[in-house]
Structure 1
Amino acid sequence: MQVPQIRLQQTYAQTGLRITQPVQEIEQLPAELSIKQVPATMNIDHKPYHLDINQEQMWNELNFKSNSVFSEDMAEFARQEGFEAIAEKSQEGDQMAAIDKKTDAIDAIVTSKANPGPAETIIAFIPSEGSVKINYTPPELNIDWKKGGAEIEVTPHKPNHTYTPGKTEVYLRQMQSLQIDFVGGNINTKS
Structure 2
Amino acid sequence: MRIPQLQIQTTKAQIGLTIQQPEQKIEQQPAELQISQPAAELHIVTTEGQLQIDQTQLRADLGSFTFIELARKAAQKGEEDILQGIARRAREGRQLGDIRKGQNAIAAIAASKNENMQQKQLGIKFIPSFHAVELNYIPAKVEINVQPKKTANRCHNP
TM-score tier (shorter): 0.5 to 0.7
Q: Which structure 2 residues correspond to residues 113-132 of structure 1 after superposition, within 5 A? A: 113-116=113-116, 119=119, 121=121, 124-132=125-133
C-alpha deviation, 1:145, in angstroms:
1.8
Q: Which amino acid aligns with 1:72?
A: R
Q: Which structure 2 residues correspond to residues 36-185 of structure 1 after superposition, within 5 A? A: 37-97=37-97, 103-116=103-116, 119=119, 121=121, 124-152=125-153
C-alpha deviation, 1:52, in angstroms:
2.4
Give CA-to-partner distance per residue, 1:65-112, whole Å, 9 cap, x none: 344433333232222211211122223334445679875444322211
C-alpha deviation, 1:143, in angstroms:
1.0
Query: How many pairs align?
Result: 132
> Structure 1: which 5+ residue stretches go unaligned?
1-27, 158-191
Q: How far, CA to CA, are the matches of 1:29 and 1:80 in structure 2?
A: 106
C-alpha deviation, 1:47, in angstroms:
2.4
Q: How far, CA to CA, are the matches of 1:122 and 1:149 in structure 2?
A: 80
Which structure has the highest helix share of the two?
2
Q: Is the 8 A contact 1:39 1:149 kept in 2?
A: no
C-alpha deviation, 1:147, in angstroms:
2.4
Q: Cα RMSD (Å) of the superposition? A: 3.8
Q: Is the 8 A contact 1:42 1:143 kept in 2?
A: yes
Q: How far, CA to CA, are the matches of 2:68 and 2:105 in structure 1?
A: 43
Relative to 1, partners in 2 of residues 1:143 and 1:37: Cα closer, same or farther, differing over 3 Å?
A: same
Relative to 1, partners in 2 of residues 1:148 and 1:94: Cα closer, same or farther, differing over 3 Å?
A: farther
Point out the structure with max Rg over C-alpha.
Answer: 1
Moved more, 39-48 or 118-127: 118-127
Q: Which amino acid aligns with 1:127?
A: P
User: Sequence identity of aligned pairs in percent?
Assistant: 28
Give CA-to-partner distance per residue, 1:11-34, whole Å, 9 cap, x none: xxxxxxxxxxxxxxxxx9998977
3-state SS of 2:51 partner: strand
